[in-house]
């Protein structure tokens, strides 16, 4: 059984504000002014790169970093642009979701069923079945034990791009940015790169 | 058993056009012209931000938004750049795939097995096993029933970036952009942010 | 059972270099110079678009493309910016992870359990249960047999954005970029789009 789906239909857009349809804000900057000094009013593209190092106490941890991303945007001094937030490791991730402890516990329990660690007992029959057929991750032949963390990195994804509008992160009311550690207890880096004007 | 894989091998690139190797198009714009009026030909970085609000009839729905993204690029008037398309909610997603109803039905059935709702019977033993061990999502303690939609948001991802080349979305022949609603029936926002020149 | 999580706590950032806290590098370029010739030192936004076509021998293959992305950045001649790397097909993906054959074999085996092909025997009970209830993917009604590859595209995601700092890909020590083919043996395109100055 499956629910019927709209195939290719465009949604009946409900107004968010008072008017029907989408809300439009244009931030195009022209170069019409040719009087002396005009060049100081030219668009000035800025790049600002911040590195953060995490060394979590626990092996797995969700660390809220919305404020770090906001700081980077403020330091860059841009009004319009985008911020890339990317884990520089392959056993961590960056996630935008609710800052709600219950949800985070649900998510980690679920991730351990879908991408099961081999350093603890499988959590149920599905987790047991999703472990490697060879008995353990092939990746562990080199002495590692973090094969599951690579799969969790794949599932959660290692990066997000946050839009910047009017100098602020253009996020929805419940969206918070998290660094997701799946193999912690050692220094691991994150890059925040701001691009805009 | 697993299929053998190419480890680090670079693919034998087949020509898409008539020549061997990759096709190259350079869009670098210089500032060589210093005669009067040169400044009007300077690169003019533009930002254009469009918000769309969806209020789907069904709880879950795939809504094609390729045309909305194209509209935003046209309104911005850029030839080269990128467009960020991001759900501003944590129980929705943005997906690029085929506009084919069978595929969408397959995908929703599969998502319900992998990230099972607790507001309906689990679809098979795997879905039953992937439900929270505590009996229901911890996230539901606050009165919500959309824990599965948060996991679907994680799986599908809440955003994409589409390249813009020669004033058009630089997508493959079958790529369409979808807003994926997993907890609808109420107004939810999407941001489309165009950046380019 | 689930591990307790930090809810919203900011991590105790350990120094990556010698000092406590985050390492900061600012790449903002001003327009202070108004003497003759200043315009040649204005920021010059560049766009560079490269298409690559893959025709893998095997149906599924991980192809390392870090060097292709580096080449595109060098050809663009930018020092600061971002590179978008996106599959233009809906049955392929782009992944950043370790270039380690064991990990790649683990990942493909796992992807076949999570998003099972119907063109071969399911790999275990979970894979059997995750196949479509209708007996085969609805998407196959049109003669296709690649329904699982669309789900793998969803899981791995079809694109990444790599930051460029000081003219180089700003990746962590183990991060390599891969084109992931899940339905090969035919020409398929990838777009690499560089944006920066």
| pLDDT the model gives residue C45 | 85
Q: Give CA–CA dist C81/C45, Å, rounded.
A: 9
- Contact residues, chain B, for C157 at CB < 8 Å: 157
The tens digit of pLDDT for each residue in A81-92 reads: 999 999 999 999
Give mean pLDDT, residues C151-158.
98
Shortest Cα distance, chain B CAs vs residue C11, angstroms: 22
Q: Which residues of B touch A8 (CB under 8 A)?
A: 64, 99, 101, 176
Whether ipTM exceeds 0.90: no
Instruction: Please judge whether C9 and A63 are an interchain contact, meaning their C-beta atoms are less than 8 angstroms apart.
Output: yes
B22 and B112 part of one domain: no
Q: Report the SS3 class of residue C27.
A: strand
CA distance B192 to A23: 11
For C29, the domain range is 2-41
Q: Are A2 and C132 in contact (CB under 8 A)?
A: no
* Interface contact C180, partner B, CB < 8 A: no
Closest residue on chain B to A98 (Cα):
B90
Contact status of B47 with chain C (Cβ, < 8 Å): no
Q: How far apart are CA A151 and CA C110, in angstroms?
A: 9
Q: Are residues C182 and C141 in the same domain?
A: yes
CA distance to partner chain C, nearest, from residue B8 (Å): 5
Contact flag A47-C196 (C-beta cutoff 8 Å):
yes
State the smallest CA–CA distance between residue B97 and chain C in angstroms. Answer: 5
Q: The pTM is what?
A: 0.84
pLDDT of residue C43: 54
User: Is the same domain home to B33 and B57?
Assistant: no
Contacts of A30 in chain B (CB under 8 A): 44
Pairing of strands A159-165, C23-28: unpaired
- Cβ B101–A10 below 8 Å, yes or no? no
Domain identity same for C81 and C173 = yes
**What value, to the nearest 5°, has the Cα angle with vertex C155 and ends B135 and B98?**
115
Interface residue C154 vs chain A (CB under 8 A): no
Domain count, chain B: 2
Q: Which of residues 93-152 of A touch B (CB under 8 A)?
A: 95-98, 100-103, 105-107, 109-110, 113-114, 123-126, 133
* Residue B28 C-alpha, separation from nearest chain A C-alpha, in angstroms: 15
| Predicted local confidence at residue B34, as pLDDT | 40
Instruction: Residue C21: name the closest of A99, A187, B77, A80 by CA.
Output: A187
Q: Nearest C-alpha of chain B: how many angstroms from C24?
A: 25
Asked if the C-beta of C18 comes within 8 angstroms of chain A's C-beta atoms, the answer is no
Alpha-carbon distance of A191 to C184, in angstroms, equals 33
What are the E-state strand segments in chain A?
23-28, 46-54, 61-64, 81-87, 92-97, 159-165, 168-169, 176-181, 188-196
Ramachandran assignment for A159, one of left (phi > 0), alpha (psi -120 to 50 degrees), beta (any other): beta
Same domain membership, residue A110 and residue A55: yes
Same domain, yes or no: C23 and C108: no
Same domain, residue pair A122 and A174: yes
Ranking B82-91, B163-172, C3-12, C180-189 by mean pLDDT, the lowest is C3-12
What pLDDT shows up at residue A45? Answer: 85
Q: Are residues B15 and B103 in the same domain?
A: no
- Shared domain check, C69 and C34: no
Say yes or no: B170 contacts chain C, CB-CB below 8 A. Answer: yes
B194 contacts in chain C (CB < 8 Å): none
pLDDT digits (tens, 9 = 90+) for A54-90: 999 999 999 999 999 999 999 999 999 999 999 999 9
Q: Are residues C69 and C100 in the same domain?
A: yes
DSSP state letter for C130: H
Q: What is the pLDDT along chain B (197 residues), one digit of tens a residue?
A: 333 333 333 333 333 322 223 333 333 333 333 445 444 445 578 999 999 999 999 999 999 999 999 999 999 999 999 999 999 999 999 999 999 999 999 999 999 999 999 999 999 999 999 999 999 999 999 999 999 999 999 999 999 999 999 999 999 999 999 999 999 999 999 999 999 99
Residues C138, C70 within the same domain:
yes
Whether residue C52 is found in the same domain as residue C135? yes
CA distance B57 to C129: 30
Please determine, for residue A189, whether its predicted confidence score (pLDDT) is greater than 60: yes
CATH number for position B112: 2.60.120.460
Collect contacts of A15-24 with beta carbons under 8 A, ≥24 apart: A15/B53, A16/B51, A16/B53, A16/B187, A16/B189, A22/B50, A22/B51, A22/B52, A22/B53, A22/B68, A23/B50, A23/B51, A23/B53, A24/B50, A24/B51, A24/B75
pLDDT of residue A7 exceeding 70, the answer is: no
Would you state the structure tokens that stand for residue B175, as one six-digit string? 């790529």
Q: What is the pLDDT of residue A43?
A: 54
The residue of chain A nearest to residue C130, with distances taken between CA atoms, is: A126
- For B80-132, how does the pLDDT look when each residue is reduced to its tens digit (9 = 90+)? 999 999 999 999 999 999 999 999 999 999 999 999 999 999 999 999 999 99
């Amino acid at each position: 059984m499956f629910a019927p789906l709209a195939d290719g239909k465009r949604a009946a857009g409900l107004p968010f504000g008072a008017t029907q349809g989408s809300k439009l804000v244009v931030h195009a900057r022209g170069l019409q002014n040719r009087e002396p000094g005009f060049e100081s009013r030219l668009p000035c593209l800025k790049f600002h790169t911040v590195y953060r190092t995490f060394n979590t106490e626990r092996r797995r941890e969700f660390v809220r970093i919305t404020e770090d991303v906001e700081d980077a945007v403020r330091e860059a001094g841009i009004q319009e642009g985008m911020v890339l937030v990317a884990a520089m490791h392959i056993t961590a991730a960056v996630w935008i979701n609710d800052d709600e402890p219950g949800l985070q516990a649900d998510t980690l329990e679920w991730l351990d069923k879908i991408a099961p660690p081999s350093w603890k007992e499988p959590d149920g029959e599905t987790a047991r079945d999703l472990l490697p057929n060879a008995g353990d991750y092939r990746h562990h032949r080199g002495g590692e034990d973090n094969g599951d963390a690579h799969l969790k990195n794949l599932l959660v994804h290692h990066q997000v791009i946050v839009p910047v509008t009017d100098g602020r992160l253009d996020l929805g009311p419940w969206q918070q940015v998290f660094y997701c550690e799946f193999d912690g207890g050692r220094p691991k880096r994150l890059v925040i790169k701001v691009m805009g004007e």
